[in-house]
Each structure stands twice: as structure tokens, then as C-alpha cells.
Amino acid sequence: MPTSNVSARPAETASRFARFRTFLPFLCSSLASSAVDLGAFTLLCALLRGRLSAAVYITAATIAARVLSSLMNYLINYFFVFQSHAAHHRSAVLYGVITVLKTLASAFLVTLATSWIPGLPELAAKIPADILLFVVNYLLQNFLVY
């Protein structure tokens, strides 16, 4: 009969908890930067719609809004959420790579959804796409960036 190491379980549980103790603050910083992202995205779509093709204005609005919200999000996450001591150069580069990939994925998913469902507002497509990407983003930032 195998014996279990009961004393290791509390340490293992504490380690798992410590790894995810940042989730609530990360959620709050993400919600704040999402508000900035969605507000800028909506404003830019309204300004660019009719002047450019849908794929171009959605991509341009996504990128511009994401740059603004990402700068805010990186600084909040670095100093307050993860209280990082990692070198800014390393963490900023990793954050930037993840953000670029996430931005491209968001633009692609929004463009795809709005082309598949005629009349679907961009924002209605962007919210579920970004919720999906949020989960992936948390895992990558928690384990790779900070």
C-alpha cells in the first residue's frame, strides 16, 4: 500500500495558491485596460468606418487601442500585480511579443466573426474574442513575463 506524504500537501497547496494569488489583481488591471481598449477601439471604429475597408479599419483600431491599453496594463502589472523584480527589458520584450500575438489574434477573430455574421457589431465580436484571449494572456504573463 503506497504511503502518502501528508506534510508535503500543505506546501504543495500553498505553492499552488501563491502561483494564482495574482489572479484577482490581474483581473482588475485587465478590466481597467479592457475599458481603455474597448473605448478607444469603439471611437476609432466610428472614425474610420466608411473611410477604409472593414479588415483595415478593424485592424488599425485594434492595434491603436491595444498599444494604449497595453502600456497602461504592463505598468500596472509590473509594479502592482506581480510586483516584479525582473529586468524591464526582459519583461517588456516578452510582454510585447505576447501583446502583438494577442492583438493579431483579436483582430483576426473580430474580422472573421463580422464577416461570418453580417451586421454583427465589431464590439459584439471583440468582447468574446478578448475574453478567450484573456485566459491565455494570464497564463503566459504569470509564467513567462513576470
pLDDT, tens digit, for every residue of 10-50? 766 666 666 678 889 999 999 999 899 989 999 999 999 99
User: Per-residue pLDDT for 69 more than 60?
Assistant: yes
Domain enclosing residue 86, as ranges: 23-145
Residue 124 inside a domain? The answer is yes
Residue 7 inside a domain? The answer is no
Q: In the predicted model, what is the mean pLDDT of residues 79-90?
A: 88
Is 5 or 95 the better-scoring residue by pLDDT?
A: 95
Q: How many CB atoms lie within 10 A of CB 105?
A: 17
What is the tally of structural domains in the chain?
1
Amino acid at 34: S
Residue 80 inside a domain? The answer is yes
Residue 2 inside a domain? The answer is no
Residue 9 inside a domain? The answer is no
User: Per-residue pLDDT for 6 more than 60?
Assistant: no
Question: What is the separation of C-alpha 39 from the centre of its chain, rounded to a whole number of angstroms?
Answer: 15
Residue 57, C-alpha cell as written in the block: 479599419
Please choose, from the candidates 102, 91, 88, the residue with its C-alpha nearest in 3D space to the C-alpha of residue 30: 102
On whether the CB atoms of residues 79 and 26 are closer than 8 A, the answer is no
Residue 112 inside a domain? The answer is yes
Residue 11 inside a domain? The answer is no
Amino acid at 115: S
Residue 96, C-alpha cell as written in the block: 510585447
Q: In the predicted model, what is the mean pLDDT of residues 114-136?
A: 92
Residue 60 inside a domain? The answer is yes
On whether the CB atoms of residues 70 and 40 are closer than 8 A, the answer is no
Residue 2, C-alpha cell as written in the block: 503506497
User: Per-residue pLDDT for 127 more than 80?
Assistant: yes
